[in-house]
């Protein structure tokens, strides 16, 4: 069964709503999204709903394969991206790039 909701830290909300952040990188526990599906998005901290996203694709990637292109889609530098991922998913090498677009 594919996931129908997604959470983001509040600090990413404005970038998502402005279309500056167009992917998210998650671990295996959060990769079961179906391409073409629409998910409700809320803040991780307090569960406040703030938009809906359409999932375009879910692609496996190794941490070491992350590039400047991924960082650009996350609206940060590659160094910042790797640091954030390492803090959220310490010692995880298998990740998933979830490409999405803002619906409303």
Could you say which of 7, 22, 24, 30 is catalytic?
A: 24
Q: Is 21 a catalytic residue?
A: yes
> Is 24 noted as a catalytic residue in this protein?
yes
Q: What is the pTM of this model?
A: 0.94
Note if 64 is an active site residue.
no
Q: Which whole-number Å values give the CA distances from 57 to 4, 87, 92, 99, 104, in the listed order?
A: 14, 24, 21, 5, 18
Instruction: Tell me the domains of the chain and their CATH numbers.
Output: 5-102 (2.30.130.30)
Q: Among 21, 64, 82, 87, which one carries the catalytic annotation?
A: 21
Per-residue pLDDT of the chain (104 residues; tens, 9 = 90+): 789 999 999 999 999 999 999 999 999 999 999 999 999 999 999 999 999 999 999 999 999 999 999 999 999 999 999 999 999 999 999 999 999 999 98
């Amino acid at each position: 069964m594919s996931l129908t909701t997604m959470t983001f830290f509040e600090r990413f909300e404005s970038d998502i709503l402005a279309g500056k952040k167009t992917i998210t990188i998650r671990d295996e526990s959060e990769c079961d999204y179906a391409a073409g599906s629409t998910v409700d998005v809320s803040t991780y901290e307090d569960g406040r709903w703030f938009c809906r996203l359409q999932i375009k694709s879910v692609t496996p990637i190794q941490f070491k394969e992350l590039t400047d292109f991924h960082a650009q889609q996350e609206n940060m530098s590659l160094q910042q991206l790797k640091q954030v991922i390492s803090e959220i998913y310490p010692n995880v090498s298998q990740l998933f790039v979830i490409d999405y677009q803002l619906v409303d």
